[in-house]
Amino acid sequence: MDTILETKALSKNYGHFKALNRLSMTVPRGSIYGFVGKNGSGKTTLIRLICGLQHPSSGSFTLYGKENTEKAIDRSRRRMGAVVETPSIYLNMTAKNNLKQQYRILGLPSYEGLEELLELVGLETTGRRKAKNFSLGMRQRLAIALALVGDPDFLVLDEPVNGLDPQGIIEIRELILKLNREKQITVLISSHMLDELAKLATHYGFIDDGKIVKEMSAAELEAACRKCVRMEVTNMRGLIQVLEGMDVEYKIVSDTLVDLFAKVNVTQLVLALVEVNCDVLSMQEWDESLESYYVALVGGGSHG
């Protein structure tokens, strides 16, 4: 089986509001799947459905090949760990006691592997320090450790770096990569920090208004985020006239900026621009970012 999670026309309604609208997506085994969408686009709703916290209005999903209507879905969910919205941490307990409590909740027969979990997330030296005295990044790493109790091979993280400082972001990123590469854990990450996600994800699903707009691999995204030359000029109308005459593909960025998606003879271009009274203020190579690609894909707005 090459697929961990697959949804088919999955919908969730709250009254007349469609939080998910016939959403179909596929999370490949072994991937780090970046789940990208604006605030209110349906990301957290999907996560809550696959975790069993809510039920679909229509459609279906399969987890490890078991459909959500089958009794066997409960066994499939035992292979999944999740950190959804606010991490469930006992602030007056140490990291070790938080993990012991999770072992008891899951009914595990012993605390085997607990010390290794603490070491894995970098909390092995916290000793008697209570979680309320942890930094936000340390709490997030503890939340991931709690999700890893029971040895799952599918990890779902809802905005794992939200609110973290740069060092905390780096620590979470390195932990996720380690879990994926060394432990072969498939990871689904919902995140609005798109350029940070680009350092992690092997696959992407772009969601808007409860629907998947596009799914693609990191390689496909890299090909779509083409390199270009960004020009700043004094006369956009004159530049467009010249580019149309030279049959060069371009995209207008602002009143003074344009991206060229072709190799051009710079001398020939500048001489042609002189003829239409257009000065070139700057030229530089430019890579389209994940964020700009996403904005173009779904039409802008706030991310979440």
pLDDT tens-digit profile of 139-198?
Answer: 999 999 999 999 999 999 999 998 889 999 999 999 999 999 999 999 999 987 788 888
Q: What's the chain's average pLDDT?
A: 91
Cα–Cα distances (Å) from 148 to 116, 138, 200, in that order, read 11, 15, 19
**Domains of the chain listed by start with CATH number:** 3-214 (3.40.50.300), 226-287 (3.30.70.100)
Mean local confidence (pLDDT), 106-128: 94
pTM for this one? 0.81
* 4-13 pLDDT tens trace: 999 999 999 9
Phi-psi sector, 119: left (phi>0), alpha (psi -120 to 50), beta: alpha
φ, ψ for residue 111 (rounded to 5)? -95, 30
